[in-house]
Chain A
Amino acid sequence: AQSVTQLDSQVPVFEEAPVELRCNYSSSVSVYLFWYVQYPNQGLQLLLKYLSGSTLVESINGFEAEFNKSQTSFHLRKPSVHISDTAEYFCAVTRSSNTGKLIFGQGTTLQVKP
């Protein structure tokens, strides 16, 4: 069985500071990894995903995550955050890239302060 742990429930940072949201997973089989973002009063949106290939994946709004198999991690980073990045971030895993049977972490609330 797979599981996902997001180590930080809340991460407060100041605007333009760098941020890292941590995600660790456990699985006995190969997995696919995702980061979802949920802005207030909206549904979850896919931020980025790792399926195969390069272990560093990027989103269009400046976030990136690196798949580290040896450390079973998929931490999310951004070098300079904006107020608009304030949201709930969920890390998720699945055994197959074509399934909605995602296993989610507990979520991390990113609070960007001016």
Chain B
Amino acid sequence: GAVVSQHPSRVICKSGTSVKIECRSLDFQATTMFWYRQFPKKSLMLMATSNEGSKATYEQGVEKDKFLINHASLTLSTLTVTSAHPEDSSFYICSARDSRGRNEKLFFGSGTQLSVL
């Protein structure tokens, strides 16, 4: 079946540095990918919709200059947390939409645990 690969699974960085998270669809092309964030014991919150070849659409309250999203190819979207601070520590997860066939399907990556020191 279709698989979405997310890398890295865990990253620890110093405050002020930038971190890039990759989301790849391995056996299908995904024109649309989604980025979510999850705080401990909280819901997954949609951060932005990543569209191949165009600007991402951010949800209300999400800083687009802080969370840079690039969807340069049909199989790769990246989320860059710029100038990370401890409050950015969280679990980030991506999903990719597989539009092949009659019914669209959504596949999730395994997530990235970001810890900012």
Contact = CB atoms under 8 A, between A and B. Distances in A.
Chain B interface, >50% SS class = strand
B87 interface: no
B41 A43 contact: no
B6 interface: yes
A42 interface: yes
B29 to A, nearest CB: 15
Contacts of B68: none
B34 A100 contact: yes
Contact of B108 (A41, A43, A101, A105): A43
B34 A43 contact: no
Contacts of B49: 100-101
Nearest to B6: A43
Nearest to B39: A106
Counting chain B residues whose Cβ lies within 8 A of the other chain, the interface size class is 20 to 34
B78 interface: no
A102 B46 contact: yes
Contact of B93 (A43, A98, A106): A43
Nearest to A51: B103
Contacts of A43: 4, 6, 93, 107-111
A101 B56 CA distance: 13
Contacts of B110: 41-43
Interface string B1-17: 00010100100000000
A4 B104 CA distance: 22
A73 B42 CA distance: 19
Interface in B25-73: 32-34, 36, 41-46, 49
B42 A106 contact: yes
**In the complex, the 6 A-B pairs of residues with the closest C-beta atoms, listed nearest first:** A44-B108, A43-B108, A104-B44, A43-B110, A100-B34, A104-B43
Interface of A: 4, 9, 36, 41-46, 90, 97-98, 100-107
